[in-house]
């Protein structure tokens, strides 16, 4: 049995994340982690807030807070929201932790000793009005590739092209807005990625990347085809992992810190050590990351803009240390989730943000919709109309209504215990075969991380119950043969129990409500085998049950109108 190491791209610290961030990394990673745990795998799901870099300093400045205090507050705010979405992190850490600082500095030392870091004098933008060198993200201007007028000096948010500040048209300071900029000489550390390219290519060719989603593998190979460039890994900032004085005393004295994209991926390891340090007697972070045995399978989840850093830059960093760090086995990359054709944007507060989503509706509504419509093969677009249709048809009508009508009708006609009735007949055997077949499809899609297809298989399982109920029509059977109606209801109740188990990765709160409806002694099953799916007898006659509250309330046209008014709709959103 494999040990499953799972990481999702670190959410940045400067503000609450939108639904696009959620579906692009953390939520699918959680669904997969929950599924693997149910299948009996040993899982370690690690994430953290990404706290260093220019945006953190700028956001703290806007909030009127010291950056350390701002980051601490934002970490707790984000953590509370992820708990609201029931994300099952084994640990949710902070890139500003002592552990990450120590490991990042050791990475840099090892890279330097192995000849992969070089100190270079470079010409960098200096702001006369701010009286400081400006890191890349402190400079904004027009992208020379797509014309986006709010491009940052390191990367264009619109077209995702990596930039240098000097590439920008009409650059200006993000701190003061001043365009009184000049180029001066300063010293920085460079990671010699060009020297590491052959090793990265060999690693990528031999690690199974051909089985990655096309989105992930194509981006990685595109970067390699274009050739890896040596890249500055230090910045002039007050907040970050400091350059170690024992290795670079002059740069340390100048207050240089490591570039956020150097230390952020290392925080996967740092957060695991944070987790390990909480219970050092029982947790060994090194067994997951350092000289990890072949049983550890490492899967990363991220949106497409993070792919180059995780598939090229971070592996190059790991390889250059010459230490036996665990490298990724599978990269699950996602396209964008858009909002009516325009981009969700944290900086511009466009679209639905995770805190507002939880204020409107329970987490399961969002979890199911986002995974069922995950942007796996191409960009997808959120609309309130699509959201309400998915919730009303799939959750309220297909699953919720099935649960309510079966349990309510049985209690009304047979009391508060599962009725006995006839032994299973041809209809039940046919249903069992169909459920077992769909279970196999569901497992196949989950194992291959095809989330939309997995959602379709799960929805088909729910629909099979409705089709069986319509075929048997217990409300008619009971008029002529009470035992026949009892058999139908007993079988349907077993379907509810089965749905509770299989739906847990997608809708954990609702799954718990379904399962707890039955007073079933020793109900510890974490998954369902094909034979159990065929038998549909986990809940025997005589089991006491209750009718849970309505699982999913329908979204009304009045609700939709209020949502459009608050968040905007097609007519108010920009074109992509």
CB atoms within 10 A of CB 2: 13
Domain ranges of the chain: 3-107+260-381, 114-253, 391-535
DSSP string, 180-223: -EEEEEEEEEEE-HHHHHHHHHHHHHHTTGGGS-HHHHHHHHHH
Name the CATH topology of 3-107+260-381: Rossmann fold (3.40.50)
Q: CA torsion 30→36→38→43, rounded to 10°?
A: -80
- CATH annotation of 391-535: 1.10.730.10
Q: Is residue 359 classed as helix, strand or coil in its secondary structure?
A: helix
Q: Is residue 454 classed as helix, strand or coil in its secondary structure?
A: helix
Residue 27 CA to residue 455 CA, distance in Å, equals 14
Residue 568 CA to residue 561 CA, distance in Å, equals 10
pLDDT at 347: 57
> Which architecture characterizes domain 114-253 according to CATH?
Beta Complex (2.170)
pLDDT at 570: 55
For residue 324, the number of C-alpha atoms closer than 13 Å in the C-beta half-sphere is 8
Per-residue pLDDT of the chain (576 residues; tens, 9 = 90+): 789 999 999 999 988 999 999 999 999 999 999 999 999 999 999 999 999 988 898 889 889 999 999 999 999 999 999 999 999 999 999 999 999 999 999 999 999 999 999 999 988 889 999 888 887 878 999 999 999 999 999 889 888 888 988 899 999 998 889 999 998 899 999 999 999 999 999 999 988 788 899 999 999 999 999 999 999 999 988 899 999 999 999 999 999 999 999 999 999 999 999 999 999 999 999 999 998 888 999 999 999 999 999 999 999 999 999 999 999 999 999 999 999 888 876 556 668 999 999 999 999 999 999 999 999 999 999 999 999 999 999 999 999 999 999 999 999 999 999 999 999 999 999 999 999 999 999 999 999 999 999 999 999 999 999 999 999 999 999 999 999 999 999 999 999 999 999 999 999 999 999 999 999 988 999 999 999 999 999 999 999 999 999 999 999 999 999 998 888 765 444 433
Residue matched to tokens 């109900």: 523
CB atoms within 10 A of CB 113: 12
| Sheet containing strand 330-334, strands side by side | 91-94, 42-49, 3-8, 296-303, 330-334
Contacts of 365 (CB under 8 A, 6+ apart): 391, 395, 552
Contact (Cβ atoms closer than 8 angstroms) between residue 375 and residue 24: yes
Q: Which among 465, 459, 444 is positioned nearest to 371, based on CA atoms?
A: 459
User: How many residues does this entry show for the chain?
Assistant: 576
pLDDT at 348: 62
| Exposure letters 558-572 (e unless 16+ CB within 10 A, then b) | eeeeebbeebbbeee
pLDDT at 166: 84
Give 186's strand partners: 122
Beta strands in 231-275 (DSSP E): 231-232, 234-235, 257-258
- pTM of this structure: 0.92
For the chain, the first-to-last Cα distance in angstroms comes to 45
Residue 99 CA to residue 146 CA, distance in Å, equals 40
Q: Is residue 282 classed as helix, strand or coil in its secondary structure?
A: coil
- 146 annotated to a ligand binding site: yes
Contacts of 218 (CB under 8 A, 6+ apart): none
Contact (Cβ atoms closer than 8 angstroms) between residue 258 and residue 235: yes
- 47 annotated to a ligand binding site: no
- 143 annotated to a ligand binding site: yes
pLDDT at 576: 32
For residue 410, the number of C-alpha atoms closer than 13 Å in the C-beta half-sphere is 33
Phi–psi pair at 231, nearest 5 degrees: -135, 135
pLDDT at 573: 41
pLDDT at 349: 61
Q: Residue 5 belongs to what H/E stretch?
A: strand 3-8
- 166 annotated to a ligand binding site: no
Which ranges of 448-576 would DSSP assign to H, the alpha helix? 451-472, 474-480, 482-503, 508-515, 530-535, 557-567
Residue 419 CA to residue 409 CA, distance in Å, equals 11
Q: Which among 305, 261, 272, 262 is positioned nearest to 25, based on CA atoms?
A: 305
Residue matched to tokens 């810190």: 257
- 346 annotated to a ligand binding site: yes
Q: Which among 269, 252, 322 is positioned nearest to 111, based on CA atoms?
A: 322
| Exposure letters 502-537 (e unless 16+ CB within 10 A, then b) | bbbbbbbebbebbbebbebeeeeeeebeeebbbbbe
């Amino acid at each position: 049995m494999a040990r499953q190491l799972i990481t999702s791209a670190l959410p940045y610290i400067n503000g609450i994340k939108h639904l696009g961030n959620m579906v692009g990394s953390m939520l699918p990673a959680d669904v997969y982690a929950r599924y693997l745990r149910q299948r009996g795998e040993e899982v370690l799901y690690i994430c953290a807030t990404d706290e260093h870099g220019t945006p953190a300093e700028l956001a703290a400045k806007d909030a009127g807070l010291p950056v350390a205090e701002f980051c601490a507050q934002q970490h707790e705010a984000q953590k509370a929201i992820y708990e609201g979405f029931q994300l099952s992190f084994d640990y949710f850490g902070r890139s500003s932790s002592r552990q990450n600082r120590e490991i990042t500095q050791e990475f840099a030392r090892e890279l330097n000793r192995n000849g992969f870091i070089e100190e270079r004098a470079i010409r960098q933008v200096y702001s006369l009005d701010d009286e400081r060198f400006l890191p890349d993200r402190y400079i904004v201007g027009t992208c020379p590739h797509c014309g986006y007028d709010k491009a940052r000096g390191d990367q264009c948010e619109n077209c995702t092209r990596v930039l240098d500040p000097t590439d920008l048209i009409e650059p200006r300071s993000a701190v003061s807005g001043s365009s009184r900029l000049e180029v001066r000489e300063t010293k920085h550390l460079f990671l010699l990625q060009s020297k590491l390219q052959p090793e990265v290519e060999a690693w990528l060719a031999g690690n199974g990347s051909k089985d990655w989603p096309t989105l992930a593998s194509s981006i990685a190979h595109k970067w390699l085809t274009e050739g890896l460039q040596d890249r500055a890994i230090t910045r002039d900032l007050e907040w970050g992992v400091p350059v170690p004085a024992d290795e670079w005393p002059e740069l340390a004295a100048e207050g240089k810190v490591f570039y956020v994209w150097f230390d952020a991926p290392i925080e996967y390891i740092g957060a695991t050590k944070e987790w390990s340090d909480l219970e050092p007697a029982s947790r060994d972070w090194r067994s997951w990351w350092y000289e990890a045995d072949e049983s550890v399978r490492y899967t990363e989840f991220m949106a497409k803009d993070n792919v180059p850093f995780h598939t090229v830059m971070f592996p190059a960093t790991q390889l250059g240390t010459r230490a036996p760090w665990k490298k990724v086995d599978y990269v699950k990359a996602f396209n964008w989730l858009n909002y009516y054709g325009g981009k969700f944007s944290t900086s511009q507060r466009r679209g639905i943000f995770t805190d507002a989503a939880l204020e409107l509706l329970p987490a399961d509504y969002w979890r199911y919709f986002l995974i069922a419509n995950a942007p796996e093969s191409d960009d997808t677009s959120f609309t309130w109309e699509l959201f309400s249709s998915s919730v009303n048809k799939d959750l309220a009508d297909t699953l919720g209504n099935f649960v309510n009508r079966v349990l309510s009708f049985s209690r009304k006609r047979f009391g508060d215990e599962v009725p006995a009735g006839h032994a299973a007949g041809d209809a039940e055997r046919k249903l069992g075969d169909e459920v077992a077949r769909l279970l196999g499809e569901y497992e196949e899609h989950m194992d291959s991380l095809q989330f939309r297809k997995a959602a379709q298989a799960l929805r088909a399982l729910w629909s099979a119950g409705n089709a069986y109920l319509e075929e048997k029509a217990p409300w008619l059977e009971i008029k002529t043969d009470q035992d026949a109606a009892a058999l139908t209801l007993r079988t349907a109740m077993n379907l509810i129990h089965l749905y509770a188990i299989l739906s847990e990765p997608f809708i954990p709160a609702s799954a718990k409500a379904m399962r707890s409806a039955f007073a079933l002694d020793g109900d510890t099953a974490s998954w369902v085998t094909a034979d159990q799916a065929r038998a549909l007898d986990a809940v025997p006659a005589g089991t006491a049950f209750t009718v849970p509250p309505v699982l999913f309330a329908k979204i009304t046209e009045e609700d939709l109108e209020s949502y459009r008014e608050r968040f905007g709709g097609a007519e108010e959103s920009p074109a992509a």
